[in-house]
Structure 1
Amino acid sequence: MTDPAYQRLGLPATASSFAVLRAAVRALHPDTGAVRGFRAARKRFYRQMLRAHAARQAAGDTPTD
């Protein structure tokens, strides 16, 4: 895994997409969700986390911790 933000989520490879989204939402600062101007950036971040998780599942990676 090359994405350090995804690694900081600390999710197992068996986690669902919904669990990835919940962890990604919690990883952001609470004030970030209140700023309307950051909406596109938040959506981009969530998609990036889902892509990294899908790639990890496709590769059959095991947890690194």
Structure 2
Amino acid sequence: MTDPAYQRLGLPSAASPYAVLRAAVRALHPDTRAVRGFRTARKRFYRQMLCAHAARQAAGDPPSG
């Protein structure tokens, strides 16, 4: 099952990892990005989005968006 947060990014399966990262950064509220104490959680979120995207590419899912 795909992560719901990843699905909300609305990226095609052919998107580059950099595009996934940019979309994930934009998905977070600016206040959330500004809190230094959330840095580890933000990095974990970005890693999860990249892993979900890599899994989707490996599965050969059709593009969406």
Q: Distance in 1 between matches of 2:25 and 2:16?
A: 14
Matched, 1:28 2:28: yes
CA distance in 1, matches of 2:25, 2:64: 22
Query: 2:16 maps to which residue?
Result: 16
Report the residue type matching 1:14 in the other structure: A
Deviation of 1:8 after TM superposition, in Å, equals: 0.1
Aligned-residue RMSD, C-alpha: 1.1
Aligned equivalent of 2:45? 45
| TM-score scaled by length of structure 2 | 0.94
Unaligned 5+ segments in structure 2 are: none
Q: Distance in 2 between matches of 1:49 and 1:16?
A: 12
Using the size of structure 1 for normalisation, the TM-score is 0.94
Where has structure 1 moved over 6 Å in runs of 4 or more? none
